[in-house]
Structure 1
Amino acid sequence: MIKAIIFDMDGTVLNTIDDIHQAVNHALALKKLPLKSLDEVKMAVGNGARKLIERVCPKHFTKEELNEVFHLYQSYYDQHSNVHTGPYEGILELLETLKSKGFKLAVVSNKFEHLVQGLNDEVFKHLFDASIGEVHGIPIKPAPDMVYKALNLLDVKPEEALFVGDSEVDIDTANNAQIISVGVTWGFRPESLLREHQAHYIIHEPKALLDLIKGVNTK
């Protein structure tokens, strides 16, 4: 019986890509590096900010050079994380419906936790029971540790939860945590990649999650 739904943030409940893209190119421009297209940044996100910067910088960059770009990116994004960002169509209605039906909700992201909690407070108010991001000492997705933390905070077992996300990182995370994975196609990755990583289910619009949960709970 599904009692809780854990959501990824970027590309799943929030369309954050324009602000991330702007921050990436701001940092690259300051270092006189080639700028990246929106599609290039879409494929680079998902494994945290440091990995994002590593992917958009030249391959020959040293650790020190990567750190310089990372700090330029992060300082800009910290101040501009909610300029063009907003929930995907149908997400707020989905979360409100799930909440009204008594489901416990969490968001788990590889963003730094202060950003996750800030965006959660600004956009979703009371809808999520837990918001978890990157903090020192806890491995980020696709390691299962952040999901385990969410399960503990929600007081549910792995078999009582779904993990919903838009990327292969999310599907791998759910599989590593041994919970049901639901891939969404409105985010940053192609459906083929979700299937390649063996998502248990794939949905094409937020409201489809309601019927999916109903189906799982009546098996």
Structure 2
Amino acid sequence: MPLIIFDWDGTLMDSVPRIVSCMQKTARAAKLTPPSPAAVHDVIGLSLPVALAQLFPEQRTETEQERLTSLYRYYYVEEDTTPTPLFDGVEHMLSDLKQRGARLAVATGKARRGLDRVWQETNTGHFFSSSYCACEAESKPHPEMLQRILAEQQETPENSVMIGDSKFDLRMAAAAQIASVGVTYGVHGREVLAAESPRYIAASPRALHTWLVKTYFHATVKD
């Protein structure tokens, strides 16, 4: 059975609008120029410290970086109410893949406490056999998260696939010599994702689900 590894934000959960909102609120609270939505999109998938350093390069000291991190986490967890639902069809896809015998994992730029929180909120943690977060390995596109998942699952790159909405997800997969699939309903569009040579690009969770079942199980998806 294949090992199917998912990114989280923008791939399984529609959390991108909230991330953009919180980055802009963080900037205003720190009296910095708020980044554009496009600028925020281009760092989603990176670990939070790396993303903040790219968006706010003038904040160089450790104290400044820690303040930005604290502000962002406050807004994301406590203050911002932008909804973060699972994308339509995601829960059905995860349940179906699990029932077919696939092993599922997550490699995410979230911190562990953030992933645990959303798993509890969505009751989806039971679908996944492994997970690695940005605080537990090098930031994407470094392959360490995927390498650790493969080692934990005693799996080969050839029997695995990485699915994500960001160029960083696909570059991480390439660095780990794992096939990749891009999704266009998150942060990066078809042109950006195609440049990373994924095996497939899905325009919706339904299309992703259909491709995975056809490719790895030689079957069709039932509603």
Q: TM-score under structure 1 normalisation?
A: 0.87
Deviation by residue 1:68-87 (Cα, 9 ceiling, x = unmatched): 22222123324358851111
AA aligned opposite 1:134? A
- Output the CA distance in 1 between the equivalents of 2:145 and 2:127: 19
Do structure 1's residue 196 and structure 2's residue 195 form an aligned pair? yes
Conserved? CA contact 1:164–1:182, under 8 Å: yes
What's 1:117 paired with? 116
More divergent stretch after superposition (141-150 vs 179-188):
141-150
What's 2:167 paired with? 168
- Output the CA distance in 2 between the equivalents of 1:44 and 1:106: 22
- Output the CA distance in 1 between the equivalents of 2:40 and 2:134: 20
Deviation by residue 1:50-106 (Cα, 9 ceiling, x = unmatched): 12222332x433334333222221233243588511111111111111011111101
Conserved? CA contact 1:144–1:177, under 8 Å: yes
What's 1:72 paired with? 71
Q: 1:81 to 1:155 in 2, by over 3 A?
A: farther
Do structure 1's residue 108 and structure 2's residue 101 form an aligned pair? no
Tell me by how many angstroms 1:41 deviates: 1.8
- Output the CA distance in 1 between the equivalents of 2:43 and 2:98: 32
Q: 1:125 to 1:215 in 2, by over 3 A?
A: closer
- Output the CA distance in 2 between the equivalents of 1:197 and 1:40: 19
What's 2:221 paired with? none
Do structure 1's residue 63 and structure 2's residue 61 form an aligned pair? yes
Tell me by how many angstroms 1:191 deviates: 1.0
More divergent stretch after superposition (29-38 vs 185-194):
29-38
Q: Name the SS of the counterpart of 2:170 in structure 1.
A: helix
Deviation by residue 1:99-143 (Cα, 9 ceiling, x = unmatched): 11111101110111221222123211422222321235x212211
Runs of 4+ in 1 over 6 A off after TM superposition: none
Unaligned stretches of 5+ in structure 1? none
Q: Name the SS of the counterpart of 1:6 in structure 2.
A: strand
Q: 1:92 to 1:190 in 2, by over 3 A?
A: same
- How many pairs does the alignment contain? 215
- Output the CA distance in 2 between the equivalents of 1:187 and 1:141: 16
